[in-house]
Structure 1
Amino acid sequence: MGLPLWREVAFIAVICLSMFTTQLGLGQVLLLLPSIGRTFGISNPGDLSWLVAGYSLTVGTFILVSGRLGDIYGYKRMLCIGYAWFAVWTMISGLSIYDTKNGYVMFVFARVLSGIGPAITMPNGLAIFGAAYPDGMRKAMAFALFGACAPSGSIVGATFSALFDLVWWPWTFFSFAIVLVVLAVLVIVLVPVIPRTRAPPATWRELLQAVDLLGGVVGVTSLVLINFAWNQAVVVGWRQDRDYVYICLLLGMILLPVFFVIETKVAVEPLIPFSALSSDVGFVMACIACGWGCFGIWLFYLLQFYTNLRHGSPLQISAWFSPIPASGFAASITTGIILGKVRSSIVMVMSMTFFLVGVILIAVAPVDQTYWAQTFVCSLIIPWGMDMSFPAGTIIMSASLPKKHQGVAASLINTVVNYSVSLGLGFAGTVELQVDHGGLTEQDDLLRGYRGALYLGIGLAALGLAISLVFAFKQGRRESESKRKRRSASIKLPDK
């Protein structure tokens, strides 16, 4: 890149903070749900869950469109807009406390719209890395550090929200909004301009073709409906009198193949260039979907385990989660080093193994066991799954698509990560509802339900491991064949 070392470090930090702030925005609400509920007079857990689900749903849904806008109008510009948008709606989330009549509705509305901010910053931040660095050690390390910010962001958000909750919870959002404004300014100052590989559309028709409006609307609608159905079913159940849940799920499933038809047969500039994607990308996306779906289940139900079964306070729970950022940072550095020396498929096998071992440890952990046994160990192991799979998948995706599609490449990985987390929780919640009434006491019922959901996480991780092993075998055989052909080509027949 030709930047001085201090400038490159600052540049990498500002980009990585797009992942950090995304997860901070999620983690800051998890431990505040009881306080927010008391403020607005809301006690139904299903209503409170949408304070988290609404944000995650928006983040996971709008990433694809945001990445395409970055390809068209420039990644730096979109990154700055994303931070600014995030700041405005985060501030409104805190200000909702002053609306005595419709404060809860205003808060939910602000949380949903604030999710568009990280949906813009994450893919465009990753796209800047993909376009700025050639394949090699520095690019691998940049992607690894980006992924390392995910667990640390959630823990920092939860910790500071617990501290602000001791005084006044809205300051959680006010302070975060100020930080986001500062980051928007730092993007302007520190991030170099990445030359655009295409001219912006000159007419409305060209713009609609460039953003693939039809495909975007159909794809986003499908994802929203499917995600809403599974997560709302956790609140109201799969009862016959809840027809709208089944209707939303059915419509979403119908629109999904319609989206694929539009992208492959109709769109002039498809939102997802399927023709440019290799089979390796398919294997990697399947692994990431299974692994991160497992991680979402692990994180949510470990939090429930700490809160409802071990009865930890918000600050104590934050302390119990504190090993995750340090372990994640170590995993990211290790991954950045080995990615250039070890096949990406082997890295994916290792990450799926860490996911599987980590979720098994919490699924079978006794309630009265000391923290330093299984729960501490699983908090050290799970981050290695996250911070090995994300950079490996991002590098494979970035290498598969040309420079002009780096926004789409980053968007696709982030969409899979966020959507699999949200959808995995919807599946797990349904399992929990079906199996949580077999214990002798209320605590037994909770434990039975939590373990049922965690067993689903085990199944997802095991499936991811199986897929990664097939991917590793396929990649290894292909490399062996390639070496054999090179050796054959290097052998020359003697002249007669």
Structure 2
Amino acid sequence: MSDLEFGEKSSTAPESSSGQISDGTLYPDTLHKQPTHQSAARVGENDDLDRTHTTASSYTASSLSLGREFVFVAVVCCAQLTTQAGLGQSLSIIHVIGRNYGLTRPEDLTWFIAAYSLTVGTFILISGRLGDLYSHKKMLVIGYLWFGLWSIVAGLAVYSNVIMFDIARALQGIGPSILLPNGLAILGSTYPPGPRKHMVFSIFGAMAPIGAAIGAVFAALFSLKWWPWAFLSFGLVLCFLAGLAHLAVPSPPVRQSQVTSFQSALNHIDLPGAAVGITALLLINVAWNQAPIVGWHEPHVYVLFIIGLLLIPVFFYVELRVAAFPLLPLDALKSADIGFVLGCLACGWGCFGVWFYYLWQFHLVLRDASPLLATAYICPIAVSGAMAAIATGYLLGRIGPAWTMMAAMSAFFTGITLIATMPIDQTYWAQAFVCVLVITWGMDMSFPASTVILSNAVSKRHQGVAMSLVNTVVNYSISLALGFAGTAEVNINPGGTSKESILAGYRAALYVGMGLAGLGWLLSLVYLVYDHIRAGVTLVRLKTKT
């Protein structure tokens, strides 16, 4: 067992002289003072261990040389880079792949993206729990291997049919669902709260736009010869990263496992909660993404949707009343800050998913750009993302999460508004270029802020669950929002082939993204007001005591 497993002597909160955990606010530079809220009924004898203060010297980062730390961070951050590369590689050549299988309707092509994002967002929670139990390093290696295997299968699906390709894409997405929470959990448990941790998480977030650009570029280049090479070569790179992760990531100290039997393992994994939660997420998402293709009038679409909705309260009942070790420890996530942050994250990244997909369609379909030229149009996200990550790593501990989220939601809303109002024949430098630069700041401000907040708000042994929750919200929101947008598109443009009718459908979809971004902005505003009121109340209490 790793140092991240059950029974770890760690906490994010210092003790007061009376032995009680002191209160604190959820600002990034003071998050280590925030108490964790664990249910005694859930963790039993480990509850007292969670209250033990963890010093900076107990984190692995202090023992790494600069060179070893560089390689270690690079390998872990490649989890985010390859995840988004897997998204970008299919977007840039989506019509090339579609023509190979005889598909031309936009609603048929969306499954190339949605199938991947669906499984990324659905299986993250259980993957994080497995990492908490059986070592995040082992899960990171397994994630790279799984991702590589099904990337190769996706490339070989050229000899089969589109159903096989869609299945391979869905199974390919399980790889990132393993990589993301465990990679972030490794970083969260390696670095103590502070500026260095903020910067590492910001670098991890910056890999998203860089990875999307790299995946799109290489896919476009390979499509000039044979598009399956994009997936085959990607699979080989992922297998290489698996070996590098085995060598570069520090091995956690061996600790005695509390999982002593098969039944004990099932209890710790929370199999009932995982089964109900995963089924609910799958059914709801499949319904929304299938509806644009066949319509909501088809019985199987609304039946799947209704069953998925009914399973949500069942999942919370299992987590609160049945599970001995809940997959989602709600007792540790009661803070209002976490609720606001996750709400903003869902709206912002749902908006980003709509923006990213339809920006590609705008260039490929309405402006008749080649995959390589369209990739060149979007590549500035890599540069803007790197700048945003560095700035966010510097500002996060100075302006606080409330202002960070407000700025991120503003960037999401501005970016998607620019593309939603863009004329077809307008020069690239007027709105398309600007929206690429702006919306990237939304990604690279919201993601690091969210990961830092949740990482510092829970103990080391819950790092996998915390990072799973952030990544579940990010990736599931992308897939679900694409279903919302696709439904709007086909209802505004039910099969029209003229550029005017296609543009009307795209704009309807983009307006859905604008609505999500606007909702996120309102949530961030409420959060900002709440944060200022809380800070004022705390100041008054301190003055009263003195």
2:123 is aligned to 62
Choose from 93, 96, 111 the match for 2:154: 93
Deviates more, 1:403-412 or 1:38-47: 38-47
Q: Deviations over 1:1-40 (max 9, x none)?
A: 1211111111111111001001111111122233333334
One-letter amino acid of the counterpart of residue 331, structure 2:
S
Q: 1:133, 1:30 → 2: CA distance?
A: 35
The Cα of 1:191 is off from its aligned counterpart by 0.8
Secondary structure of residue in 2 paired with 1:155: helix
Q: Does residue 462 of structure 1 match 2:539?
A: no
The Cα of 1:477 is off from its aligned counterpart by 1.7
Does the aligned pair in 2 maintain the 1:361–1:374 contact within 8 Å?
Answer: yes
Does the aligned pair in 2 maintain the 1:197–1:404 contact within 8 Å?
Answer: no
Choose from 259, 263, 266 the match for 2:319: 263
Deviates more, 1:212-221 or 1:301-310: 301-310
| Aligned-residue identity in percent | 52
Q: Deviations over 1:201-239 (max 9, x none)?
A: 111111111010000000000000000000000111222
One-letter amino acid of the counterpart of residue 545, structure 2:
A
Choose from 475, 484, 494 the match for 2:540: 484
Q: 1:197, 1:266 → 2: CA distance?
A: 28
Q: Deviations over 1:418-458 (max 9, x none)?
A: 0111111111111112222699x821111111111111111
The Cα of 1:44 is off from its aligned counterpart by 4.9
Does the aligned pair in 1 maintain the 2:75–2:241 contact within 8 Å?
Answer: yes
Does the aligned pair in 1 maintain the 2:107–2:486 contact within 8 Å?
Answer: no
Secondary structure of residue in 1 paired with 2:324: coil
2:477 is aligned to 420
One-letter amino acid of the counterpart of residue 202, structure 2:
A
The Cα of 1:105 is off from its aligned counterpart by 3.4
Q: 2:486, 2:242 → 1: CA distance?
A: 37
1:240-279 matches, within 5 Å, as 242-277=298-333, 278-279=335-336
Q: 1:104, 1:457 → 2: CA distance?
A: 28
Q: 2:470, 2:192 → 1: CA distance?
A: 19
Q: Which runs of 5+ in 1 are unaligned?
A: 491-496
Does the aligned pair in 2 maintain the 1:436–1:449 contact within 8 Å?
Answer: yes
1:31-180 matches, within 5 Å, as 31-97=92-158, 99=159, 102-180=160-238
Does the aligned pair in 1 maintain the 2:92–2:375 contact within 8 Å?
Answer: no
One-letter amino acid of the counterpart of residue 342, structure 1:
I
Does the aligned pair in 2 maintain the 1:128–1:194 contact within 8 Å?
Answer: no
Secondary structure of residue in 1 paired with 2:226: coil
Q: 1:325, 1:335 → 2: CA distance?
A: 15
Does the aligned pair in 2 maintain the 1:64–1:271 contact within 8 Å?
Answer: yes
Choose from 82, 85, 99 the match for 1:21: 82
Choose from 403, 421, 427 the match for 1:370: 427
Q: 1:198, 1:298 → 2: CA distance?
A: 47
Secondary structure of residue in 1 paired with 2:212: helix
Q: Does residue 223 of structure 1 match 2:223?
A: no
Q: 2:187, 2:69 → 1: CA distance?
A: 11
1:383-422 matches, within 5 Å, as 383-422=440-479
The Cα of 1:41 is off from its aligned counterpart by 3.9
2:368 is aligned to 311
Q: Which runs of 5+ in 2 are unaligned?
A: 1-60
CA root-mean-square deviation: 1.6
The Cα of 1:156 is off from its aligned counterpart by 1.0
- Going from structure 1 to structure 2, the CA distance change for 1:465 and 1:47 (only over 3 Å counts) comes to closer
Does the aligned pair in 1 maintain the 2:92–2:360 contact within 8 Å?
Answer: no
The Cα of 1:183 is off from its aligned counterpart by 0.6
Q: 1:237, 1:103 → 2: CA distance?
A: 23
Q: 2:130, 2:495 → 1: CA distance?
A: 50
Q: 1:120, 1:288 → 2: CA distance?
A: 20
1:181-260 matches, within 5 Å, as 181-195=239-253, 199-239=257-297, 242-260=298-316
- Going from structure 1 to structure 2, the CA distance change for 1:15 and 1:314 (only over 3 Å counts) comes to same
Provide TM-score, normalisation by structure 2. Answer: 0.86
Deviates more, 1:160-169 or 1:107-116: 107-116
1:494 is aligned to none
Q: Deviations over 1:173-223 (max 9, x none)?
A: 121111111111111111112347772511111111101000000000000
Does the aligned pair in 2 maintain the 1:298–1:454 contact within 8 Å?
Answer: yes
Does the aligned pair in 1 maintain the 2:114–2:482 contact within 8 Å?
Answer: no
Deviates more, 1:476-485 or 1:229-238: 476-485
1:344-383 matches, within 5 Å, as 344-383=401-440
The Cα of 1:90 is off from its aligned counterpart by 1.1
Does the aligned pair in 2 maintain the 1:71–1:196 contact within 8 Å?
Answer: no
The Cα of 1:42 is off from its aligned counterpart by 4.1
